[in-house]
Structure 1
């Protein structure tokens, strides 16, 4: 025989159904972040397939680079300056040892990610501790004891004493009060259930936003890493030196997306932690609460967190900027201005000769 479902069992079932998805979402998000890191490690060996092409391109570029400079010095009857000629050899060595170069870059940037992940972990642990304290304090409030209680079915006598004057009640009044108490319990349960469902949906979107940032970051890093040898080869040519600077700056910018996202999540967690502390103070003073994972304040901050993740790439771009293209543009502008000045001087001298 199937036992009847009491209000306590249904309330516990509802709580379990709400809390389990939130816990599973956090575990799933953490596992997916680990999968992305594994995908990056598995795709990096593909760089070796482009190393051969980059070697050929770099060899031709180095030959052209050295020949032009040596011919220029010989044509001007000047001694050959060997120091600028070391650049193609240095870039060629980076192409040959590209996996080690990439590992060095990642090794320098990895501590930033590790430190920010630790900040998020400590913030989450503090929030979990405060939530447990809040749940224990909430169980001592009159509202919870009236509509839930230890039995899960509420306490009608406590509700009657709290909401009505103790004047006694007849049979008809008792029936009416029973209906009123049942409706109050249903309203309390429905209100909390709707808020919990909204919290669950927004929590899912919050985790999805963080996962999207990390996914785009991982895919972009893989593409930049695989095409890195070609960038080193192209950077040997004159006029393309800024390519290497732009590639390195872009790689560092994209790599910093995850640390910036971790910092943003840590800030949101600290805000939630402070709100929970205020909530505990209000429970102790008034016996009621105005903030919980299902209340509007938390939902608003989750929305802010979702919208804030969109700004992560922009914030990361503020940290590292490449000036290679600006230098190239400045040199081109200077060259054009000098050419224009020379033409003007030539025209002026020709007019003087004619006169």
Structure 2
């Protein structure tokens, strides 16, 4: 599955939904205009009642907010997105670089493992069909037991590799799906905040609701940062996997008989950690810029992460027990 295509589709969806915020501009201008009337009238009357000079500068606030509402898609959203876009591009570039290195080391490791098994006369028939058929041709009818043993050994080896690859593919699928879930929730929040943004700006004109403006801005930026934080987390996981692959390659080059079972188990553990870690991204983004009113959302996501980790851990234990049972049977 091409998960990059799904992420690109979400970005296209966000861009296509942005014009819908224009539908709220008309209603928001009416609310903001009425709020500005009461805002200015109250302060002018207060100054006249106290026989004080009228301070004009604070009275410009509703007019500035009104201009932001009128040109909301270009002035507000365009400014914030243009400022934050380099952060997204920078973290995504880091992720692509680390992913390319990880894939390169993974291919080198698989090649070294194949060559190590092929060089060993006792294990060459497990991975090389030509060697397997040549050894079968050398055996006669009286060696039926040895022939059956070779078929059993080869079948167990292929079954073990198939189970490991299948389980690894499942965990990698869940790992990528967790990143997609975060991106889907992020896109949904950004669309809602963008469409209803003019309304939030209009309400902030009224006395007692001034904090609505700053809360909208902080929440929008906090949610927008989910993608850079997600890319940074994926970069760290990819870097850890690259270091693990480098260590395995060095050990394989130094010791041809080095077993990869332990490294495969560690790789699976890191995938489970990564699945759980993806759901901590909203919390980390909240550390960068404090956005109030999102505590319950973070709690729900953390509960989901706990359940996902339990499912992944249970699947890991079941698969490990299955592989261990097959090895003991062998």
TM bin, normalised by shorter chain, reads 0.7 to 0.9
The answer to whether the 8 Å contact 1:220/1:254 transfers is yes
Aligned to 1:70: 44
Q: What is the TM-score normalised by the length of structure 1?
A: 0.77
Larger Rg: 1
Aligned to 2:77: 102
Pairing of 1:54-65 with structure 2 (within 5 A): 54-65=28-39
1:288 Cα deviation from its structure 2 partner: 3.9
The answer to whether the 8 Å contact 2:126/2:132 transfers is yes
In structure 1, runs of 5+ residues without a counterpart are 1-24, 161-168, 325-355
Say which SS state the counterpart of residue 130 (structure 2) adopts: coil
Aligned to 2:100: 125
Whether 1:148 aligns to 2:127 is: yes
For 2:184 and 2:292, the matched residues in 1 are separated by 28
Whether 1:237 aligns to 2:215 is: no
1:214 Cα deviation from its structure 2 partner: 0.1
Larger deviation, residues 110-119 vs 143-152: 143-152
1:140 Cα deviation from its structure 2 partner: 1.6
For 1:137 and 1:33, the matched residues in 2 are separated by 34
Aligned to 2:298: none
Aligned to 1:279: 248
For 1:141 and 1:41, the matched residues in 2 are separated by 51
1:76-107 superposed Cα distances (whole Å, 9 cap, x missing partner): 11110001001011101100110112111011
Pairing of 1:261-340 with structure 2 (within 5 A): 261-291=230-260, 295-322=264-291
For 1:307 and 1:97, the matched residues in 2 are separated by 41
In structure 2, runs of 5+ residues without a counterpart are 294-330
Aligned to 1:220: 189
The answer to whether the 8 Å contact 1:196/1:294 transfers is no
What's the C-alpha RMSD, in Å, of the aligned pairs?
2.2
Over 3 Å counting, the alpha-carbon distance change for 1:126 and 1:301 in structure 2 is same
Over 3 Å counting, the alpha-carbon distance change for 1:32 and 1:292 in structure 2 is farther
Q: How many pairs align?
A: 287
Whether 1:51 aligns to 2:25 is: yes
Over 3 Å counting, the alpha-carbon distance change for 1:72 and 1:323 in structure 2 is farther
1:258 Cα deviation from its structure 2 partner: 0.8
For 1:132 and 1:151, the matched residues in 2 are separated by 23
The answer to whether the 8 Å contact 2:219/2:292 transfers is no
1:135 Cα deviation from its structure 2 partner: 2.2
1:248 Cα deviation from its structure 2 partner: 0.7
Aligned to 1:18: none
For 1:317 and 1:156, the matched residues in 2 are separated by 63
Whether 1:177 aligns to 2:146 is: yes
Larger deviation, residues 195-204 vs 144-153: 144-153
1:247-292 superposed Cα distances (whole Å, 9 cap, x missing partner): 1111111111111111111111001000000110111122145448
Over 3 Å counting, the alpha-carbon distance change for 1:155 and 1:300 in structure 2 is farther
1:295 Cα deviation from its structure 2 partner: 2.1
The answer to whether the 8 Å contact 1:199/1:293 transfers is no
Whether 1:39 aligns to 2:13 is: yes
Larger deviation, residues 129-138 vs 247-256: 129-138
For 1:225 and 1:293, the matched residues in 2 are separated by 49
Whether 1:112 aligns to 2:87 is: yes
Q: What is the TM-score normalised by the length of structure 2?
A: 0.82
For 1:288 and 1:251, the matched residues in 2 are separated by 54
1:171 Cα deviation from its structure 2 partner: 5.4
The answer to whether the 8 Å contact 2:190/2:224 transfers is yes
For 1:280 and 1:196, the matched residues in 2 are separated by 19
